[in-house]
Amino acid sequence: MTKPDDSEEPRADSAAGAEHPARPAPEHSGPAAENSAPAAEIPVGADDPDISLTLGGDEPPDPTARAQALARDLARALAALGPSGWRRLEAVFAMTTAAELALITFFDEAGRGLRAQPTPDVLDLVRAQRAVAAELGDGPWWRLLVALRSTGEIEIDYDYGDEPFPEDQLLPAEAYRADLASFPRSGLPVWLAAYLYHDGAQTRSPQEAARQARADREAGVAATVSERDFPAFPVLWARWAVMAAAFVAAGSQWGPRMLPALGFFEGSRRSGSTLYVLPGGRAVLSGGVWDSPELDAVYNGGAPAPRWYAGAPEWVANPVLNPRAAAGTLSFCYWWQGGSWFRGESPPATRLAEAVPGIWTGETVIDVVSGLLAEEPTERQRESVATLVSAAEVGVVTRETLAEVFGDGEYFDLDSAYYQLSMAGVVLTLPEPMPREDAIAAVRGHIREQGIDTTGYPLDELRADRLSIGWMVYVPTRPGQIAVGRAIFYVADDGVLEQSSSSVAPSIYIAEFEERYHRRHGSVDV
């Protein structure tokens, strides 16, 4: 981009590289018209700003020079549309041979925006600009982005689809196909090629999944057992949850997130994945790598599409697949069943690092989370993170465990982080201790409801002794009384009541009683 002064004309191609003179460098970003300020009336002022751009005279013979001249003409035509008092405009033109779209917004000094409609002259200039671009090495652009200030500074970007277009600036697929018929290209960005040609090939409805699963069984097609690609699912799920909690605590817009029975991740480089939990200890991990060589070979090289679902069971279907499947940009699918990961013709995990959070080892998670705490985390910080990871893997994270890592919430969002872990089911959610009177009342009610004979077992003498997670309720024997098989009741803090007898040693029964309690309130069954 160039900011012209009194001695230099604005250039439409200033960000171009030597090899592709009309194409901006990849890191160059154009005006973010889709993120513009809310529209409002721009006040009319008496001192309307002037834009000092001059026309180029006779049409230059060189395409690049013609593009510069057209840029000046376009800037002048756009400036003429502005209301009194405008200071900045942002314009986006999406165009093919079959369809076109324009978004023009003017802003005042306060940042308030007002939309404007392009005139026929403006659209003619944009079409001419695109026609000139068609003579250059990369062919015609699909989006033209213009940023202009009332002082004469101009920025112009040609967008060839290196990044996906915003939804409100994406033309129908047939419009791009018509454009390619007029201007053939040697290759397309994978996302755009998928948009034009995927034809639903990666989708898998439950009906189609069942049909394909039957066909695979009849043909002897079996999935590949994935032994070294990913950690066991319960461990992977717990690490995913810890990573999600850490990024949420730090207020980051990136990183993984958790929902009930779903973990999802979108990386900063447009790769991502989803991890769905199904009943019966099953899960599906699928997603896409942004620059997948397999997809490039399919869409730009005519190679046959990999069979992502080869040997997959019928429950690997659209409801639990990453949304990329609907867009034709899915590049891997794994599923967990019977204590093992399986895959069809998906690439190994070593090529999927950009699409999955850093859950590969416990040490990886510790490194990532510790890096969110400080540039140079202390040994104590690393130890607290290691404790958090271990607690998550066995499903016993407490708020205190989390606070040891992130403090009392002054600098990190402890509540939201804990909520992520709670949705993942890796927190120890213990009920409040039950009052003694409630435990005795529960036993008395149980005895009456079951019609248990209380001869020699007076209910008004019931006694309750506190355990770590509830109460042991019984009628004590009188001095000199010997009672074999005397009823003993155990009431947990969550209200579960179990009946035993003095024939079973309380120390043995209590250990099993507490184990069942912690199993009820421990990690999700995966």
Over the stretch 328-383, which tens digit does the pLDDT of each residue have?
Answer: 999 999 999 999 999 999 999 999 999 999 999 999 999 999 999 999 999 999 99
Is the domain of 300 the same as that of 440?
no
Question: What Rg value do the Cα atoms of the chain yield, rounded?
Answer: 33
For residue 466, tell me if it sits in a domain.
yes
Residue 391 has pLDDT above 50, yes or no: yes
- Least confident interval from 225-239, 280-294, 400-414: 400-414
Is the domain of 368 the same as that of 384?
yes
| Sequence-distant (≥ 6) Cβ neighbours of residue 472 within 8 angstroms | 464, 465, 488, 489, 490, 506, 510
Closest alpha carbon to 198 in 274, 288, 266: 288
Q: Final residue of a domain: which of 394, 429, 464? A: 429
Per-residue pLDDT, 108: 94
CATH number at residue 156: 3.30.500.20
Is the domain of 456 the same as that of 406?
no
- Tell me the pLDDT band of 71, cut-offs 50, 70 and 90: confident
Per-residue pLDDT, 431: 85
For residue 98, tell me if it sits in a domain.
yes
Average pLDDT of the residues in 24-48: 35
Is the domain of 424 the same as that of 451?
no
More confident residue, 138 or 220: 220
Per-residue pLDDT, 196: 96
Is the domain of 352 the same as that of 424?
yes
Per-residue pLDDT, 522: 60
Phi and psi dihedrals of 364, rounded to 5? Answer: -60, -45
Contact 249, 416 (CB under 8 A): yes
Per-residue pLDDT, 32: 35
Is the domain of 154 the same as that of 104?
yes
For residue 329, tell me if it sits in a domain.
yes
Average pLDDT of the residues in 193-218: 97
Per-residue pLDDT, 485: 81
Residue 456 has pLDDT above 60, yes or no: yes
For residue 72, tell me if it sits in a domain.
yes
Distance of alpha carbon 9 from alpha carbon 230, whole angstroms: 56
Q: Give me the domain span that covers residue 359.
A: 187-429
Q: How many domains does the chain have?
A: 3
For residue 5, tell me if it sits in a domain.
no
Sheet with 113-116, side-by-side order of all strands: 113-116, 100-107, 88-95, 143-149, 154-159
Residue 50 has pLDDT above 50, yes or no: no
Chain centre distance of CA 232: 21
Is the domain of 146 the same as that of 199?
no
- Tell me the pLDDT band of 478, cut-offs 50, 70 and 90: confident
- Tell me the pLDDT band of 483, cut-offs 50, 70 and 90: low
Is the domain of 410 the same as that of 509?
no
Is the domain of 166 the same as that of 217?
no
- Provide the CB-side half-sphere exposure for 442 (13 A, CA): 22
Average pLDDT of the residues in 186-212: 96
Work out the angle between the directed axes of helices 190-197 and 293-301 (0-180°, nearest 10).
Answer: 50
For residue 525, tell me if it sits in a domain.
no
Distance of alpha carbon 107 from alpha carbon 49, whole angstroms: 12
Average pLDDT of the residues in 291-314: 96
- Tell me the pLDDT band of 392, cut-offs 50, 70 and 90: very high
- Tell me the pLDDT band of 17, cut-offs 50, 70 and 90: very low
Distance of alpha carbon 295 from alpha carbon 93, whole angstroms: 29
For residue 263, tell me if it sits in a domain.
yes
For residue 254, tell me if it sits in a domain.
yes
Average pLDDT, the chain: 87
Q: Final residue of a domain: which of 429, 458, 475? A: 429
Return the HEC string of 42-107. Answer: CCCCCCCCCCCCCCCCCCCCCHHHHHHHHHHHHHHHHHCCCCCCCCEEEEEEEECCCCEEEEEEEE
Is the domain of 270 the same as that of 167?
no
Neighbour-count burial of 392, counting CB atoms closer than 10 A to its CB (0-12 exposed, 13-18 middle, 19+ buried): buried
Is the domain of 219 the same as that of 310?
yes
Distance of alpha carbon 294 from alpha carbon 351, whole angstroms: 11
Q: Final residue of a domain: which of 395, 429, 463? A: 429
- Least confident interval from 64-68, 131-135, 154-158: 64-68
Per-residue pLDDT, 11: 31
Residue 107 has pLDDT above 90, yes or no: yes
Average pLDDT of the residues in 52-62: 52
Is the domain of 230 the same as that of 259?
yes
- List, in sequence order, every residue forming a beta bridge with 397; answer none if it has no partner: 427
More confident residue, 409 or 217: 217
Residue 22 has pLDDT above 70, yes or no: no
Exposure b/e, 253-290, CB count within 10 A at least 16 = b: eebbbbeebebbbbbeebbbbbbbbbeeebbbbbbbbb
Asked whether the CA dihedral 453, 456, 459, 462 is positive or negative, the reply is negative
Closest alpha carbon to 141 in 128, 124, 152, 150: 128
